[in-house]
Amino acid sequence: MAQQANIGELLSMLDSSCLLVLEDITAVFKDNLNSDRGPMLVNALVDYYLETNSQQALHILSTLQEPHEKHLLDKINEYISKAATRLPTLSLLGYVIRQQPSWKHKLSQGPLLLSLLKCLKTDTDVVVLTTGVLVLITMLPMIPQSGKQYLHDFFGIFGRLSSWYLKNPGHVAEIYLVHLHASVYALFHRLYGMYPCNFVSFLRSHYSMKENLETFEEVVKPMMEHVRIHPELVTGSKDHELDPRRWKRLETHDVVIECAKISLDPKEASYEDSYYSVSQPVSICFQHRQTDPNASPYIDTHSSYGTSTSTPYSASRLTLAQMQGQLPQILSPQSMRLSTEPQQVTIWSPSAICGMTTPPTSPGIVSSESSHSSSQPYSKYFSTPAGGKGTPLGTPATSPPPACISDDFVHISLPPAAATPPKKEDKLDLGRPSLSRQQNVINSERASEVPGSKSSVNLSDLPEFLGCLASDEDSVEKDREEDAISKEISEITTADAEPVVPRGGFDSPFYRTSESLPASQRKPHSVACSVQGHSLSSEPVASSLDKLGHEGAQDTPKQAFTPIDRPCGASDENPAGNREGQSSMETSIFTPSPCKVPAQRRVGFGSGQPLSYEHLFEVALPKTAYLFVSKKTEELLKQVKGNQNEDCTSSTSPMEVLDRLIQLGADAHTKELNKLPLPSKSADWTHFGGSPPSDEIHTLRNQLLLLHNQLLYERFKRQQHALRNRRLLRKVIKATAMEEHNAAMKDQLKLQEKDIQSLKLSLQKEQARYHQFQEEHDNIVAQLHSQIRQLQHDREEFYNQSQELQTKLEDCRNMIADLRFELKKANNKVCHTELLLSQVSQKLSNSESVQQQMEFLNRQLLVLGEVNELYLEQLQHKHADKSKEVEMMKAASRKELEKAKFCVQQQSQRLDASQKRIVELESQLSKKDHLLLEQKKYLEDVKIHARGQLQAVESRYKAQKRITQAFELEILNLYSRWEKDSLLKKLDDEKTEAAEAAEERLDCSIEGFADSVTGYSEEAFGRNGETKPPSTRGSSSSKGGSSSELSTPEKSQNQRMGQFSNRREASMLPEPSTSVPLTVGSLPSSKSFLGMKVRELFRNKSESQCDEEGMTINSLSDTLKSELCKDPSLEAKVPSNLDNPSPSPMNQEGSVGPLHIMDYNETHHDHS
């Protein structure tokens, strides 16, 4: 709550007059907006704005940041749906959108767009509709992509509004319809520019219906005459133009320019395109021609120009120059800059259109129709030659001739005048006609101005215009016209209002510094011509004129010398202000034809802005002038603003100033209107179709509002253009930089080429030298080669010679060797022969001695021969015979040999026989062995056989033995049972007697046995003791101890005693299990305690009474024992077998084993 109150306070302070407070409040609001995200503050601001129309609130709202936009849009949406607040809300929305907020893409997402469309579809208030359409048009390029879903809504709105114009269902004032039509026209352009295919198809379908045919003929068709064929119609398709990729690259201003490009309308079209100029010159000429149909000289002169111009180019030049020449004279021939401005004025003058379309004297439909029809050929006629003209005029930068000139200008910078020589010539040539024309123009201007300025006249004119427009359906121009008219009215009103405002503004420092020339001039003019006719106004005019002259002179050189200065100067000023001023200036200047205003503004952008930025390109003279004019107007505006808001603040934007200016003007105008005499008013009102005069004020207000909206829309367009221009400029700068770079590169290239050339030359020289050297070198080499060859030849010869000599040398050596060898041989021979010689001599001496010996031996031989013959004779005499004895011996030996041989034969025969015998015997032996083996096998077999049987038998035997044992066991068992039974009977008898003496005996027995026995044995002994005394009373030893009893030499019980002692021993030894040894000891009764008791009872019985019985039992046991002892093989087994039936463990058996043996031994001993 506190906050709300706080907000209320703040809001009330928002429109405070104090500057500081204002700043503070704004800051506070911004802080609040930054900190608070809630919708409250925004809502409050919106409410406040709607209540008070506060500019501050509007400012804050239009600069809202991201998070708040939702609330704002919601709020706006809310108010739009209410009829009462619709109009101001729409204008607020328009303001906000025109600021191009960062969240503009969200516009299409919210319900706002829908409700806006709904409003446009359903509302019947023209003012609201116009405002809404303008908002929509502004919005469309911002949401090209997301808006496509509402495409048919847009088209529907277009269809509705276009037919509205014709049908006028609300029966509103035609003047509204003019506004509405203008906005519809803009919508047409926008839609056609953005979605041509869809739009055309819509048109096709919508206007193919019969009921719409009239609308098409009357409204749409004329619109279509002002657009050229959209390229998208050829290349694109319905889907393609809705493709997001198409819009992705384009910014808002791109879209706007795109739309402007396809327009043939000079007021809509963009300057960038060459074909734009087609329309411009037409309009120029058209306008010129039609400015004043009455002023024939103008037409004449114009036609004379037309005739004088031989070539299109020169014609264009001429016309240009003419205009330049003549128009300056209209206002002030002192400066060229001024002249351009009026020229532009004339070019764009809507008055021409006014004249064309509406001859003021004849407001009939037929006449207008005829004029229209007459205008058509003109336009056609002029359009053809204008093609060449337009380019230099409209776009000097792009067309070659002006570019050259501009280049010249830039570099050479002609100081004396910015005007080009041809222009000067033109001026000279056309001096006179221009004069006359100037007057004409002035006249026409005045003529139009006067009625314009005079409210009464103006008012009277308006209906005429409107009537014409209403009848004449050539809408486009007329729309503009209408707008212009309304604007003009407002301008005039402002002009009227100006005097109300203190005029000291001209004298103010603003005025001086700003050097506002034409506008200030103009305004005084208009002022002078105005009804009021202030004397004051003339003075400033004069002074301003003087100043103009002075400052114009100052300006011209400046501009001419330094083209750079110009933009600097322009940039010094606030560009916005510049534009602002320009537009306002124009509105103020071109009174007669206010329809030019938007177009004029465009021109201002198109020409003025590039000028202000670009210093690299020379601009055609008219443009520079125009720039200056705009500057001046801006200054003027500043001044005006200063006048208005001197106390407020100088920092407020000129836009706001303008808005306020217009509003103030409107107020002033209403005052003026009220002052007017009623009759005239009423007379005028009748033209409106009898609408009551009280409505008039309202109508005018609405008109004003509409005008304001239109203005804002145009401003928005201008902004888009500015953006685009900036971008273009950047591109241009880049391009020039690249060009310079290229030039520098080219220079470098040239230098390098030169270098290459020189290098090539030196290379050639070097090559020549190199060749020379090569040749010399070759020569020397050849010489040397020949020398070498000669020398080689010589060398070969020498070599051959040496070879020959060497062979000779070799031969000689061989010969020497041979000779030496022969010498050796010879020497050897000599030596040998010498040796032989000595040997021979020796042999000789030997042979001589041998001959002597031979002679001696021969003699001896002879002697011996004679002796031999002598001995032979002696021998033959002595021969005797011993042969008989030898014969005998031989015979004896032969006989003996025979005998021996016989003996040997005998022996060998015997041997054979014996050997045979041996073999026989051996075979027999082997047979016997075999037999033996078989026998053995058989034996074995039999053995096994027998063993098998034997085993069976043995097992049988064993079984038998077991059976007998079992039987014995059974028998013994039965015996023991029987004995026990009988004993028990006896015990029952004895018990009665022994009852009294039982206790003391028991004591004694305990005394005797306390240390040695436990458990049952103790009890048993106790019982023993119990039973004994009565039985052994007669015996000497009645001590009650069994040990004493043991020692008693009772012969009858000897065996039993042995048994008993044995049992006792056994019972003593394994104490823990007394029963088992007892059973072991007492062989027959092995049935634990029962058996033992039986034994004891049995013993007692035998002791005392039944001796014979005891004897029998003892003998039985003895026989059993002896039996057992007899079988030594079973001796070991028996105890175990006996034990087996009892569940005695094996380990006890082991300990019992030796005991048994001892037992047996004892028993044996006893026996024996």
Partner 1 sequence: MAEDSQRNFRSVYYEKVGFRGVEEKKSLEILLKDDRLDIEKLCTFSQRFPLPSMYRILVWKVLLGIIPPHHESHALVMKYRKEQYWDVYHALQVIRFIKDSTPQVEVFLRMHQLESGRLPRNLAFPLEPEDEVFLAIAKAMEEVVEDSIDCYWLVSSFVNQLNNKYKDFLPQLPKVLEQYLNMEDNRLLMHLKACSAMSKLPYNLWFKKCFAGCLPESSLQRVWDKVISGSCKILVFVALEILLTFKMKIMALNNTEKITQFLENIPQDNTDAIVSKAIDLWHKHCGTPVHLV
Q: Which residues bind partner 1 (CB under 8 A)?
A: 941, 944-945, 947-949, 951-953, 955-956, 958-960, 962-963, 965-967, 969-970, 973, 1087, 1137, 1140-1142
**Cα distances (Å, whole numbers) of residue 771 to 339, 677, 774:** 78, 114, 5
- What is the residue type of 49? Y
Minimum CB–partner distance for residue 1015 and partner 1 (Å) = 22
Minimum CB–partner distance for residue 966 and partner 1 (Å) = 6
Minimum CB–partner distance for residue 1142 and partner 1 (Å) = 7
Minimum CB–partner distance for residue 969 and partner 1 (Å) = 8
Structure-block tokens of residue 837: 């010689």
**Cα distances (Å, whole numbers) of residue 118 to 82, 111, 122, 145, 920:** 12, 10, 6, 20, 154
**Closer to partner 1 by Cβ: residue 825 or 947:** 947
**Closer to partner 1 by Cβ: residue 183 or 1144:** 1144
Overall size of the chain counted in residues: 1168
**Closer to partner 1 by Cβ: residue 190 or 1087:** 1087
Minimum CB–partner distance for residue 1149 and partner 1 (Å) = 13
Asked whether the beta carbons of 543 and 506 are under 8 A apart, the reply is: yes
Structure-block tokens of residue 727: 């971008």
Minimum CB–partner distance for residue 1124 and partner 1 (Å) = 15
Minimum CB–partner distance for residue 1094 and partner 1 (Å) = 15
Asked whether the beta carbons of 115 and 160 are under 8 A apart, the reply is: no
Name the residue among 379, 382, 603 with its Cα closest to residue 474.
379
Sequence-distant (≥ 6) Cβ neighbours of residue 97 within 8 angstroms: 104, 107, 135, 138, 139, 142
Integer Cα distance of 535 and 532 in angstroms: 9
Minimum CB–partner distance for residue 1093 and partner 1 (Å) = 17
Sequence-distant (≥ 6) Cβ neighbours of residue 631 within 8 angstroms: 514, 515, 516, 569, 570, 573, 578, 581
Asked whether the beta carbons of 70 and 54 are under 8 A apart, the reply is: no
**DSSP assignment, residue 105?**
G
End-to-end CA distance of the chain: 145
Integer Cα distance of 644 and 656 in angstroms: 11
Integer Cα distance of 93 and 85 in angstroms: 12
Integer Cα distance of 665 and 219 in angstroms: 33
**Closer to partner 1 by Cβ: residue 18 or 966:** 966
Kindly give the residue spans of alpha helices, DSSP state H, lying in 590-620: 596-603, 609-613
**Closer to partner 1 by Cβ: residue 821 or 967:** 967
**Cα distances (Å, whole numbers) of residue 737 to 613, 622, 921:** 16, 27, 148
Minimum CB–partner distance for residue 977 and partner 1 (Å) = 11
φ, ψ of residue 263 in degrees (nearest 5): -85, 140
**Closer to partner 1 by Cβ: residue 671 or 956:** 956
**Closer to partner 1 by Cβ: residue 925 or 963:** 963
Name the residue among 696, 630, 590 with its Cα closest to residue 354.
590
Integer Cα distance of 783 and 775 in angstroms: 12
Integer Cα distance of 354 and 448 in angstroms: 10
Minimum CB–partner distance for residue 970 and partner 1 (Å) = 4
**Closer to partner 1 by Cβ: residue 821 or 957:** 957
**Closer to partner 1 by Cβ: residue 823 or 953:** 953
Structure-block tokens of residue 1012: 């040695």
**Closer to partner 1 by Cβ: residue 819 or 959:** 959
Minimum CB–partner distance for residue 1136 and partner 1 (Å) = 8
Minimum CB–partner distance for residue 1117 and partner 1 (Å) = 19
Minimum CB–partner distance for residue 963 and partner 1 (Å) = 4
312, 313, 319, 325: CA torsion to nearest 10: -160
**Closer to partner 1 by Cβ: residue 231 or 948:** 948
- Residues 220, 223, 224, 229, CA torsion sign: negative
φ, ψ of residue 145 in degrees (nearest 5): -80, -50
**Closer to partner 1 by Cβ: residue 243 or 940:** 940
**Closer to partner 1 by Cβ: residue 538 or 973:** 973
**Closer to partner 1 by Cβ: residue 1031 or 1136:** 1136
**Closer to partner 1 by Cβ: residue 850 or 963:** 963
Minimum CB–partner distance for residue 923 and partner 1 (Å) = 30
**Closer to partner 1 by Cβ: residue 471 or 973:** 973
Minimum CB–partner distance for residue 1078 and partner 1 (Å) = 16
DSSP string, 401-432: HHHHHHHHHHHH--SS-SS-HHHHHHHHHTHH
**Closer to partner 1 by Cβ: residue 835 or 966:** 966
Minimum CB–partner distance for residue 1059 and partner 1 (Å) = 22
Integer Cα distance of 769 and 775 in angstroms: 10
Minimum CB–partner distance for residue 1073 and partner 1 (Å) = 17
- Residues 290, 294, 296, 297, CA torsion sign: negative
Minimum CB–partner distance for residue 947 and partner 1 (Å) = 8
**Closer to partner 1 by Cβ: residue 292 or 1139:** 1139
- Residues 473, 474, 476, 482, CA torsion sign: negative
φ, ψ of residue 227 in degrees (nearest 5): -125, 150
DSSP string, 442-482: HHHHHHHHHHHHSHHHHHHHHHHHHHHHHH---HHHHHHHH
Structure-block tokens of residue 939: 């034996």
Asked whether the beta carbons of 55 and 660 are under 8 A apart, the reply is: yes
**Cα distances (Å, whole numbers) of residue 1114 to 425, 1073, 1092, 1111, 1166:** 189, 25, 15, 5, 12
